[in-house]
Structure 1
């Protein structure tokens, strides 16, 4: 009896080890990198995107997430992307390093959300170049797989180049609170304006009133007109030439600004999007 139980336990351990060897992702409890909620990819495309995203994630120690959706649940693309990243438990380290790429079919917008060092890698200028690559790779024609490959390729090139020198984060200004005027405010404003404008009119009008007087200047007798012909002659000319140097293109080596904002969770995110 003891021997049978022992053999059963050994068999179960072998099965666990076998499954672990075949599927290390499940064993380690790692999350997938592709979430095709909008059902835009085939199974083969998902597997390929998963492999490429995991490769970048492991190499640069940050989460690279690909997300599609047909229902943004009433949120903007930025809100949906940021919330999915934050509440989905993504981000490596204490700064939650990572980059999320969203194809939002509900708002018809593609959006890139960055966090942690992802903000430093993808500055505003670099982000726009990634979006250019996404559109040039077939997004407008419905080639969502090709557009996502374009995102991965262009992002990889910037990750390989490293964080640009002089990079800095710029928090976007907080939105001003919306003030509403009541009917009383409108009436008081109109009455006040009418009173002050009337006072100003009467004061100004009284200042410009002058007493009438006769014409004391005899213009017919005191006017002298002397007309003479005058000609200007060109004596000499000279021309000066100066070479204007062309501006130097330093976009590839200079630093850049990363505009940041706060998500609903209170974390700092960068990123931006573009309608399609």
Structure 2
């Protein structure tokens, strides 16, 4: 019995160490510029981890004070290294060397954070960064992102490629629409059943339908041939001053980088 208790104690201790290692490895805030205290970094990391669990991806923050790369390229590459191409995630870059903010999105975060929503986030972040309130800037990014994820993808959402102008639309179904559709389907099915039953209800053993005499089957051959197909695109001018560039309440401007598709926007402070 004593040996069993010792074994269980060792096992629990090992699991605790593993759990601590996993938690420590889940570092979603990389503060290379030293903008946050240790306590602030823990708070931001915890908040980012909660959103990451919801989106099944990673919500990240990275700061630096020596970057000379284009902020968008840096943010896209950083996000790709963390989650992979076209996987769920977003990263807020606070570039202290170039005094630039950039928010890069990938996967489902392109749809959650539309151009207009990114502009709203950047408005808050820019205000705080301008007054050197760095923790408040990062916290505002996380709070706004969490709220937008909670709100869901806007109705009538679409993506537009900044290079080709190609628009891809997404149909989202709200909870209310799903309930109404299910109720309508149930009522229609029940009505069809009752009407059919009332019209064709037969008494067993009294009548048999002469299906062999009344059956009639005719087969015809029909061919459809595609002659021409057309794809229409339009070029959307790129806006380098803010947000995603295309605007609109439900649109997300996207661009290609390193084999992946990214959304996002940025500005100076």
* Pairs aligned (count): 184
Equivalent position to 2:88, from 97, 105, 108: 97
Deviation of the 1:256 alpha carbon: 1.8
Partners of 2:158 and 2:252 within 8 A in 1? yes
Per the alignment, residue 142 of structure 1 pairs with 132
Give the TM-score taking structure 1 as reference length: 0.60
Deviation of the 1:11 alpha carbon: 7.5
Residue by residue over 1:81-139, the C-alpha shift from the partner in whole angstroms, topping out at 9 and shown as x without a partner, is 11111123457xxx401111110112211110000000001111110011112133x21
Deviation of the 1:15 alpha carbon: 5.0
Give the TM-score taking structure 2 as reference length: 0.62
Equivalent position to 1:87, from 81, 91, 98: 81
Tell me the distance in 1 between the aligned counterparts of 2:155 and 2:104.
21
Per the alignment, residue 228 of structure 2 pairs with none
Tell me the distance in 2 between the aligned counterparts of 1:49 and 1:13.
35
Partners of 1:110 and 1:275 within 8 A in 2? yes
Q: Mapping of 1:116-127 within 5 angstroms?
A: 116-127=107-118
Partners of 2:55 and 2:108 within 8 A in 1? no
The alignment status of 1:271 with 2:261, answered yes or no, reads no
Partners of 1:63 and 1:90 within 8 A in 2? no
Q: Mapping of 1:110-259 within 5 angstroms?
A: 110-136=101-127, 138-173=128-163, 255-259=249-253
SS at match of 1:88: helix
Partners of 1:90 and 1:98 within 8 A in 2? no
Tell me the distance in 1 between the aligned counterparts of 2:69 and 2:146.
29
Per the alignment, residue 204 of structure 2 pairs with none
Deviation of the 1:17 alpha carbon: 3.9
Partners of 1:20 and 1:26 within 8 A in 2? no
Larger Rg: 1
Equivalent position to 1:31, from 21, 26, 39: 26
SS at match of 1:66: strand
Per the alignment, residue 248 of structure 1 pairs with none
Where in structure 2 are there 5+ consecutive unaligned residues?
Answer: 165-247
Tell me the distance in 2 between the aligned counterparts of 1:38 and 1:112.
17
Tell me the distance in 2 between the aligned counterparts of 1:139 and 1:145.
9
RMSD between aligned alpha carbons?
A: 2.6
